[in-house]
Amino acid sequence: MSDGTTLATDVYLPSDGRPVPALLLRTPYDKRDVESQAYAHPAWYVAHGFAIVSQDVRGRWRSEGEFEPFANEGRDGAETIAWIARQPWCDGAVGTFGFSYPGATQMLAASESSELKAMAPAMTGSSYCEGWTYRNGVLKLAFILTWVAGLGKDQAVRAGDLQAVSDFEALLEDPERLFSSLPVREAFPAHLLPYVPYFQDWLSHREYDDFWRRHSPMERYDEMRVPALHIAGWYDLFLEATLDNYTALASRGRAQQMLVVGPWFHMPWSQRVGELDFGEAARNDVDELQRRFFERWLSGIDNGIDREAPVRLFVLGINRWVHHESWPPRCIEPRTFYLQSDGRAASLNGTGRLVSSPPDTASAADGFPANPRSPVASLGGRGGDVPAVTPAGPVDQRSEELRNDVLVFTSDPLDEALTMIGYPEARVFVASSAPSADFVARLVDVYPDGRAINLCDGIERVVSANGVSGTVIELVLRLSPIANCFETGHCVRLEIAGSDFPTHERNPHCGMDPVDATSLDLQIASHFVFHDADHPSQISLPVDRTCQPAEEQTA
């Protein structure tokens, strides 16, 4: 690099020595692994006419320098791209690929490189505050703690500190204990913090401020001017950020943008996700798609990919791909269901219903406790994947729906299929006895056999210096986006709870910063949801009524 730092780099080349386009993957996870859980080995890409360059980012594994997440990826990536373009084995065309953090290395390098020709950022962030570390101001606890522990372990290995390696491994081997440790700010013992110094900084910057803006891709969209293939998964923890990257760059119109959203979680990408098998169409075909994409934009081969519909979505339920011209599709109409009960919607045993008509009379509000000492568990979803504690993907929700601190509202069985594509929105009128309260909404597809499969969710934190007791607040929760067909005979279900642990941090309900709360600070709160004529709580689904999607195709 220009400052004298050497970055360890592996190069895979065709055996005939001819110059070819090059694909760069920059990773903090050891270049020798080359993202083996998502992509084909470099030998496959080499056999299809590309050079592959895999690099340890600054301060990781065999590369020199100090690792500060995101800080050096723009400059180092741009300088590496320039170096590749000058090599005799490269014909001057350079692209990038990779998912998660290697998606960040691409986005940031794209804002600084004049020689990058195309990129394929997958399952990555638009900001490293919202959508990465926090969600609507709520810490993404399970992901952040496991990710930081993994990074710290690698750094301890690099330093030859066997005791620290063992201590990080102990944390990772007992994630339930790690997630439950209080206060969160002290989740890592003092002697481990030198290996993860950024952890305390992230906890101290809950709001999107200049600390985050300096390395945020969304602040640099105007400098990104190359064709891009954005890859996402409906159950991936960076879904919304990946979609934001696509829509922002596509709206600028400077280069063609493509979007693929499969049924996958973060890794691996396969037809089996969580408790469901989405069939042959859901198999990982990303390598073949990337081959076509880079052939068009690096080799100039007219393979027609640039004339295909740019948005490719896997629709759950019917388990097939549909192609659209935009995200979200422009032919969406809202379908609204209203919450109804006699004040006893708690649990599957309750009286909660979703109905098509708004309430026209008074009705009793539904109250439920929120106990941070016994939080509602995360079952499936988009929080990462720690199978024993917080499994990702579609998972039957009935074990948690039996709890009396979960409100359950269910529609009648549908007499015709209902397909939705986009962002469901829950508009609920709430109150709480606590000065700070979390409300979680989860949309569920209920099968005729009773299985309750989670689709998407949202979380919002209500904070008031004077408390919110007795004050009814209209809360709008935009749930994570989804494409799903509720088939005939299925029911639509909305769950409302006061926690989603350990995907998200617990709210102590005492008004203090949750990361500083100890076990003694945790307070039980009473939450309320209103659904009368003056407070028509509802869930609005983005229904695809008029679209005529392309015939079934692979991604």
Residue type, 1: M
SS3 track for 359-418 = CCCCCCCEEEEECCCCCCECCCECCCCECCCECCECCECHHHHCCCCCEEEECCCCCCCE
**What is the radius of gyration, based on Cα positions, of the chain?**
24
* DSSP, res 520: G
Task: Give me the pLDDT at residue 389, please.
Answer: 66
How is residue 141 annotated by DSSP?
H
Residue ranges of domains in the chain, CATH in brackets: 9-131+212-324 (3.40.50.1820), 139-205 (no CATH), 332-510+521-544 (2.60.120.260)
Question: Which residues share a beta bridge with 174?
Answer: none
- Percent of the chain whose predicted confidence (pLDDT) is above 70: 96
SS3 annotation, 185-247: HHCCCHHHHHHCCHHHHHHHCCCCCHHHHCCCHHHCHHHCCCCEEEEEECCCCCHHHHHHHHH
What pLDDT was estimated at residue 521? Answer: 97
How far is residue 544's CA from residue 549's CA, in Å, rounded to a whole number?
10
Task: Please give the Cα distance from 252 to 267 (Å, whole number).
Answer: 30
Of 124, 128, 443, 153, which is closest to residue 266 (Cα–Cα)? 124
Question: What is the per-residue pLDDT for 385?
Answer: 66
85-98: pLDDT as tens digits: 999 999 999 999 99
Task: Please name the residues in contact with 43: beta carbons below 8 A apart, sequence gap of 6 or more.
Answer: 12
Dist. CA 42–CA 417, nearest whole Å? 43
pLDDT in tens, 123-160: 999 999 999 999 999 999 999 999 999 999 999 999 99
**DSSP tag of 130:** B
CA contacts within 13 A on the Cβ side of 516: 6
User: Quick one: 465 exposed, middle or buried, by C-beta within 10 A (0-12, 13-18, 19+)?
Assistant: exposed
Q: Residue for token digits 């029911």?
A: 491
DSSP of 275-338, one letter per residue? Answer: TEE--GGGS--HHHHHHHHHIIIII----SGGGS-SEEEEEBTTTEEEEESSSS-S-EEEEEEE
pLDDT, residue 555, reads: 52
Q: Closest Cα partner for 53 from 18, 90, 24? A: 24
pLDDT digits (tens, 9 = 90+) for 342-381: 999 999 999 999 999 999 888 899 999 999 999 999 999 9
CB 350 within 8 A of CB 493: no
Helix and strand counts by DSSP (H, E) for the chain: 11, 26
Active site residues: 100, 236, 266
Spell out, as residue ranges, where the chain has pLDDT lower than 50: 467-468, 548-554
Helices 141-159 and 162-173, interaxial angle, to 10°? 160
Q: Are strands 228-233 and 257-262 parallel, antiparallel or unpaired?
A: parallel
pLDDT at 546 (0 to 100): 62
Question: Could you tell me which of 454, 444, 447, 441 has the C-alpha nearest to residue 413?
Answer: 447
Residue 342: φ, ψ to 5°: -100, 25
User: What would the two tokens of residue 515 be?
Assistant: 């990361």
